[in-house]
Amino acid sequence: MAQERWRKRVTMISSNATLWDRVRTLVDFSAWKGHLDPQDGFEDPTPMEALRATCEAQGWGLVDHRQTPRRGRGRARGTRKIEDIYALWYHQTGCLISSEGLSIPAHSLILRRTDTRPTTIVLLHPIRAYLYGSHHANPFAITIEVEACAAGVSGDPRTLWTPKGKTVAEHWAEASEDQIMATRIVGQYYIDEVAAQDGAVTHSGNHRNSHKSRVSDPGQEIATRCTRYHGLLPGPVIGSGRPDPTVWGGDEGIPYSWRVRGW
Ligand SMILES: [Zn+2]
């Protein structure tokens, strides 16, 4: 009887495919002697590879204009040191864009889907390019433009900047869900890419924070869903800029404007 039980157990063990692997672990010291490759044969993707893969998976366009020479408003004015760059700076374009945005002074542009193109991320300049895009934040900010005509306070037409000759209804175009998602992805790309270059992104602000004329830039939707998304420190508020209103996630009791409190 005992012999029968023993034979059963031997059959069970020898049919177990992991047995020899378990025996091997008893004489394999590589893991604690530092002989194992830390990535076990796999390399982390670079931030650019990760961005490209995400765009492919989502069906978004990715256009790289970082090496495209240009003149005029959209050109770079100089360079910055990576250690001086510490903030993401979010904008809305305030108009719809039919081109790839070469005349826009931004590091990147997130275009909305149209009949002729998918939601598209355009990389316009290298991170170290000094641009006239974010007023007082130019020396330290990475300028991210989202193609939108968005309300400063969600749903409040009084807070939509409208050009002469257009009605609110004609002009209003909040960022799409895909643009919000793509903008978050771009933010993460910059955080990772600056880190890869031995710098650090610690803050995340809005154009409103760096010039008094940009009260509604980028608007509540982008400010709450993109600017605040990565859990970075807000701002800073600089030059003639204003702090985020309470409805953008700012401190308690800060109104949107003298006319509209926002709550
Ligand atoms: Zn702006």
Q: Answer with the residue of higher pLDDT: 14 or 44.
A: 44
CB atoms closer than 10 angstroms to residue 198: 8
Distances (CA, A) of 23 to 19, 35, 71, 81: 6, 19, 68, 54
pLDDT band at 19 (very low <50, low <70, confident <90, very high): confident
CA 53 – ligand 1 centroid, Å: 28
Q: pLDDT, tens digit, for every residue of 201-216?
A: 999 999 999 999 999 9
Contact 93/148 with Cβ under 8 angstroms?
A: yes
CA 139 – ligand 1 centroid, Å: 15
CA 97 – ligand 1 centroid, Å: 14
Q: pLDDT, tens digit, for every residue of 234-250?
A: 999 999 999 999 999 99
Helices (H) and strands (E) in the chain, counts: 6, 9
CA 19 – ligand 1 centroid, Å: 63
CA 209 – ligand 1 centroid, Å: 10
CA 143 – ligand 1 centroid, Å: 8
Residue with tokens 């998304």: 229
| Cα 146 to the center of its chain, rounded Å | 11
For Cα atoms 182, 109, 257, give the angle at the middle one, nearest 5 degrees: 90
CA 151 – ligand 1 centroid, Å: 13
pLDDT band at 13 (very low <50, low <70, confident <90, very high): low
CA 91 – ligand 1 centroid, Å: 4
CA 208 – ligand 1 centroid, Å: 8
CA 26 – ligand 1 centroid, Å: 62
pLDDT band at 11 (very low <50, low <70, confident <90, very high): low
CA 102 – ligand 1 centroid, Å: 16
How does DSSP assign 19-47, residue by residue? HHHHHHHHH--TTTTT-S-TTTT--PPPH
CA 218 – ligand 1 centroid, Å: 7
Name all domains of the chain by residue range, CATH numbers in brackets: 47-248 (3.40.80)
CA 214 – ligand 1 centroid, Å: 7
Give the tokens for residue 100: 């790839």
Instruction: Mention every residue, 6+ apart, whose C-beta is less than 8 A from residue 55.
Output: 61, 62, 121
CB atoms closer than 10 angstroms to residue 207: 26
Neighbours of ion ligand 1 (CB under 5 A): 91, 207, 217
Q: pLDDT, tens digit, for every residue of 131-178?
A: 999 999 999 999 999 999 999 999 999 999 999 999 999 999 999 999
The four Cα atoms 95, 100, 105, 110 give a dihedral, to 10 degrees, of 70
Please name every residue paired with 205 in a beta bridge, in sequence order, or none if there are none.
Answer: 89
Q: Provide the residue count of the chain.
A: 263
Contact 56/121 with Cβ under 8 angstroms?
A: no
The C-alpha R_g of the chain, in whole angstroms, comes to 26
What is the rounded CA–CA span in Å between residue 146 and residue 111? 7
Exposure letters 130-149 (e unless 16+ CB within 10 A, then b): bbebbbbbbebbbbbbbbbb
CA 40 – ligand 1 centroid, Å: 45
CA 41 – ligand 1 centroid, Å: 44
| Average pLDDT of the residues of the chain | 93
Q: pLDDT, tens digit, for every residue of 90-132?
A: 999 999 999 999 999 999 999 999 999 999 999 999 999 999 9
Report the percent of the chain where pLDDT is more than 90. 83
